[in-house]
């Protein structure tokens, strides 16, 4: 049994058109029995309301309405004449809690499946660096170069650092001093990484809402919002001995979904052992 609320036509942009039946008033409800073998679901097609202004995110509409109506409610409350009777207090309490819930709705919507992921923004200042240790063999260098390139391309990463037994490969936008030679830069990164002690991390770390940190972490570029650290396990029989780690950072919040983290873990597996 499926109920379909038909708004015709189903357009994503609300533009005034000669077929002016595109309005929320002309909704008709059809109830039909259908053999839905897989799942019983309500099949709803709802008009997606949009102002049509590019760059304006209508999914934040409940938040603006929450703020607007909430402030109107408060205005109403304080401008009401002397003793406010109880029913009004009740509806105002209801209204305020609804406003608070509406304000929180876009945030809740971000965690639903199928929600739009924020895009990364490249830092305005600073340049990309690409530093790779000279103490490693050519095939490993090639693998590292390819892995860092692919991570930067296929995820919303802007900065990646791979460390294998102390030897580093750093690529992307980093907050490092300019005018340093590649070898000096490599040593500088190594020192900073040792200060943080990232080689000691035993399990994956994911910070989806990173907001800046202590002095040693300032190598990360400004505007970093997500951070993910994946340790490279040397030997599955000795899980305490770490071989290195892989660090990716992005300027988008909640940038690494489960699937992204699975793929980054797969890339880290390449350097195991």
Residues 147-176 that bind another protein (CB under 8 A): 150, 153-155
- H helix intervals, 163-206: 182-196
CA atoms within 13 A on the CB side of 9: 8
Q: How far is CA 36 from the centre of its chain?
A: 35
> Measured from the CB atom, is 36 or 182 closer to another protein?
36
Maximum Cα–Cα distance across the chain = 83
CB closer to another protein out of 26 and 182: 26
Contact 264, 236 (CB under 8 A): no
Q: Does 73 sit near another protein (CB under 8 A)?
A: yes
Q: Of the listed pieces 14-22, 67-75, 127-135, 174-182, which binds another protein according to CB under 8 A? A: 67-75
Q: Please, are residues 171 and 128 in contact by the beta-carbon 8 Å criterion? A: yes
28 binds another protein (CB under 8 A): no
Whether 122 contacts 174, CB under 8 Å: no
| Contacting another protein within 223-242 (CB under 8 A) | 228, 230, 242
Q: Which is nearer to another protein, 180 or 199 (CB)?
A: 199
Distance CA 14, CA 47 (A): 9
Q: Check residue 86 for interaction with another protein (CB under 8 A).
A: yes
Q: Are 38 and 60 in contact (CB under 8 A)?
A: no
Q: Where are the alpha helices (DSSP H) in 197-255?
A: none
| One residue of 30, 40, 111, 240 binding another protein per CB under 8 A | 111
Report if residue 1 touches another protein, rule: CB under 8 A.
Answer: no
Q: How far is the CB of 96 from another protein (least distance, A)?
A: 9
Q: Which CB, 62 or 172, lies closer to another protein?
A: 62
Which candidate, 125, 140, 151, places its Cα nearest to that of 223?
Answer: 125
Residue in 1, 56, 72, 122 binding another protein, rule: CB under 8 A = 72
Q: Tally Cβ neighbours within 10 Å of residue 148.
A: 24
Q: Name the minimum Å distance from CB 175 to another protein.
A: 16
126 binds another protein (CB under 8 A): no
Q: Which of 9, 27, 34, 146 binds another protein (CB under 8 A)?
A: 146
Nearer to another protein, 136 or 150 (CB): 150
Near another protein by CB under 8 A: residue from 31, 214, 238, 240: 214
25 binds another protein (CB under 8 A): no
136 binds another protein (CB under 8 A): no
CB-neighbour burial class of residue 260 (10 A; exposed 0-12, middle 13-18, buried 19+)? buried
């Amino acid at each position: 049994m499926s109920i379909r609320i038909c708004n015709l036509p189903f357009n994503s942009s609300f533009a005034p058109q000669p077929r002016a039946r595109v309005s929320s008033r002309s909704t008709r409800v059809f109830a039909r029995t259908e053999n839905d073998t897989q799942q019983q679901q309500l099949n709803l097609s709802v008009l997606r309301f949009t102002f049509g202004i590019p760059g304006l995110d209508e999914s934040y509409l409940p938040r603006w309405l929450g703020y607007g109506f909430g402030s109107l409610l408060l205005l109403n409350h304080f401008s009401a004449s002397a003793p406010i009777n109880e029913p009004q207090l009740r509806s105002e309490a209801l209204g305020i809690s609804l406003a608070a819930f509406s304000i929180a709705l876009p945030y809740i919507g971000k965690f639903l499946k199928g929600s739009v992921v924020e895009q990364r923004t490249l830092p305005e200042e600073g340049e990309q660096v690409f530093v790779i240790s000279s103490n490693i063999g050519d095939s490993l260098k090639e693998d590292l170069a390819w892995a860092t390139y692919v991570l930067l391309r296929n995820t919303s990463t802007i900065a990646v650092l791979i460390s294998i037994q102390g030897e580093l490969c750093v690529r992307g936008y980093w907050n490092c001093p300019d005018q340093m030679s590649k070898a000096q830069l490599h040593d500088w990164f190594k020192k900073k990484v040792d200060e943080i002690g990232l080689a000691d991390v035993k399990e994956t770390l994911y910070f989806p809402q990173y907001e800046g940190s202590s002095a040693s972490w300032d190598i990360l570029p400004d505007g970093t919002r997500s951070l993910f650290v994946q340790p490279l396990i040397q030997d599955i029989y000795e899980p305490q001995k770490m071989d290195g780690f892989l660090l990716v950072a992005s300027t988008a919040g909640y940038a690494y979904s489960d699937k992204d983290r699975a793929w980054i873990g797969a890339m880290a597996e390449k350097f195991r052992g």
